[in-house]
Structure 1
Amino acid sequence: MKPAADVLTELSQPSNVATHSTMALVGSVDAAGAEDDEKRKEKELDALRRKPKLQVIPAVEVGSLRLAPWDVLHTLGRAIALARRGAGRGLAEHWGSLKYSQALTGGSDTYMKLSAEGRETADYYKALQSGELGIGFSLALAKQVLSRRYPRHVVSIVPADTALRAGWALTSRDKGPRSGYRYRPRFFAEVWKPGEPSRVFTIESKGNHSNAAASYDQLASASAHVEAVHIGSWNETPSLVFSTELPVEGPLTVHALHFDGKGGWLSSSAGSADRNLDHFIEDENFYPGIQPLAEGGRQPQPEPGFHVTPERYEWFRHVLARTAAAGLTAFAGDGEATVQYLTKRQGVRHFTGFAHAATGSVQDARQRLLGIRFVGTDHVFRLNRTRVEAFSGVAEDLFRHLEAGQVEQYRREVHARRASWPVDRWDGKWQGPVSVDSDGSVLAMRVLT
Structure 2
Amino acid sequence: MRKDAKDILKDLAKPWNVQVHSTAALAGSVADAAARDDEQRREEDREPLRRKPGLAGISGSGCGTSIRLTPWELLHALGRAVVLARQGAGRGLAEHWSSLKYCQALTGGDGHYMALSPEGLNPRRHYKTVQSSELGIGFAVALAERMLRKRYPQHSVSVIDADIALQAGWALVGKDVKRRDWIRLRPDFLLEAWKPGEPSKIIPVACRGTHAKTSYVYTQLAGASAQVEAFHVGPWNQTPSLVVSTELLGQGGITMHALYAEGSSALTPAPGEPEADADQPLHDLNIYPEVRLPAAEGEEEPRDGGFQVRPEHYAWFRRAVVRAGVAGLMAFSGGGDLTAQYLTKRQGSDHFEGFVHAGTGIVQDATAVIRGTTFLGTDHVFRLNGTRVEVAEGLFRLLAKGACGGVPP
Q: Normalising TM by the smaller chain, what interval?
A: over 0.9
Unaligned runs of 5+ residues in structure 2 are none
Structure 1 residues 181 and 356: CA distance shift in structure 2, 3 A:
farther
Residue 177 of structure 1 deviates from its aligned partner by 11
Q: Give 1:393's aligned residue.
A: 390
Matches within 5 A, 1:127-138: 127-138=129-140
Unaligned runs of 5+ residues in structure 1 are 412-438, 440-449
Structure 1 residues 114 and 360: CA distance shift in structure 2, 3 A:
farther
CA distance in 1, matches of 2:182, 2:85: 20
Matches within 5 A, 1:71-90: 71-88=73-90
Matches within 5 A, 1:121-270: 121=123, 125-172=127-174, 181-261=183-263, 263-270=264-271
CA distance in 2, matches of 1:206, 1:223: 11
Of the three residues 393, 404, 408, the one matched with 2:405 is 408
Q: State the number of aligned residues.
A: 407
Structure 1 residues 75 and 46: CA distance shift in structure 2, 3 A:
same
SS at match of 1:373: strand
Amino acid at match of 1:265: A
Q: What does the per-residue CA deviation read over 1:134-163, in whole Å, with 9 as the maximum and x for residues that have no partner?
A: 111111110111100010211111100000
Q: Give 2:280's aligned residue.
A: 279
Q: Give 1:447's aligned residue.
A: none
1:366 aligns with 2:363: no
Q: Give 1:427's aligned residue.
A: none
Residue 313 of structure 1 deviates from its aligned partner by 0.7
SS at match of 2:390: strand
Structure 1 residues 32 and 359: CA distance shift in structure 2, 3 A:
farther
CA distance in 2, matches of 1:62, 1:381: 31
Contact 2:92 2:360 in 1 (8 A): no
SS at match of 1:100: coil
Q: Which moved more, 1:369-378 or 1:199-208?
A: 369-378
CA distance in 2, matches of 1:279, 1:177: 34
Structure 1 residues 367 and 380: CA distance shift in structure 2, 3 A:
same
Structure 1 residues 329 and 235: CA distance shift in structure 2, 3 A:
same
SS at match of 2:79: helix
Amino acid at match of 2:85: A
Contact 1:167 1:284 in 2 (8 A): yes
Amino acid at match of 1:397: G
Amino acid at match of 1:203: V
Q: Give 2:314's aligned residue.
A: 313
Q: What does the per-residue CA deviation read over 1:313-354, in whole Å, with 9 as the maximum and x for residues that have no partner?
A: 111111101111111111112222212111010001111122
CA distance in 1, matches of 2:324, 2:32: 37
Q: Which moved more, 1:26-35 or 1:102-111?
A: 102-111
Amino acid at match of 1:236: Q
SS at match of 1:410: coil
TM-score w.r.t. structure 1 length? 0.84
CA distance in 2, matches of 1:178, 1:39: 20
Residue 216 of structure 1 deviates from its aligned partner by 1.2
Q: Give 2:27's aligned residue.
A: 26
Q: Give 1:329's aligned residue.
A: 330
Residue 173 of structure 1 deviates from its aligned partner by 7.5
Contact 2:105 2:119 in 1 (8 A): yes
Residue 361 of structure 1 deviates from its aligned partner by 6.8
CA distance in 2, matches of 1:164, 1:55: 26
Residue 176 of structure 1 deviates from its aligned partner by 13
1:304 aligns with 2:301: no
Residue 249 of structure 1 deviates from its aligned partner by 2.2
CA distance in 2, matches of 1:198, 1:33: 32
Structure 1 residues 124 and 409: CA distance shift in structure 2, 3 A:
closer
Q: Which moved more, 1:352-361 or 1:211-220?
A: 352-361
Structure 1 residues 344 and 289: CA distance shift in structure 2, 3 A:
same
Contact 1:168 1:287 in 2 (8 A): yes
SS at match of 2:209: strand
CA distance in 2, matches of 1:77, 1:44: 40
Residue 213 of structure 1 deviates from its aligned partner by 1.4
CA distance in 2, matches of 1:359, 1:379: 5
Q: Give 1:2's aligned residue.
A: 2
Residue 393 of structure 1 deviates from its aligned partner by 2.5
CA distance in 1, matches of 2:358, 2:338: 21
Identity of aligned residues (%): 51
Q: Which moved more, 1:171-180 or 1:334-343?
A: 171-180
Structure 1 residues 87 and 197: CA distance shift in structure 2, 3 A:
same
Q: Give 1:375's aligned residue.
A: 376
Q: Give 1:347's aligned residue.
A: 348
Amino acid at match of 1:105: T
TM-score w.r.t. structure 2 length? 0.92
Structure 1 residues 397 and 355: CA distance shift in structure 2, 3 A:
closer
Residue 180 of structure 1 deviates from its aligned partner by 5.7
Contact 2:119 2:125 in 1 (8 A): no
CA distance in 2, matches of 1:246, 1:360: 37
Q: Pairwise CA RMSD of aligned residues?
A: 2.6
Contact 1:81 1:90 in 2 (8 A): no
Contact 2:21 2:257 in 1 (8 A): yes
Amino acid at match of 2:42: K
Residue 191 of structure 1 deviates from its aligned partner by 0.9
CA distance in 1, matches of 2:131, 2:363: 27
CA distance in 2, matches of 1:408, 1:125: 41
Contact 2:382 2:389 in 1 (8 A): no
CA distance in 2, matches of 1:124, 1:153: 36
Amino acid at match of 1:98: L
Structure 1 residues 381 and 291: CA distance shift in structure 2, 3 A:
closer
CA distance in 2, matches of 1:108, 1:335: 44
Structure 1 residues 39 and 205: CA distance shift in structure 2, 3 A:
same
Structure 1 residues 355 and 66: CA distance shift in structure 2, 3 A:
same
Residue 122 of structure 1 deviates from its aligned partner by 8.1
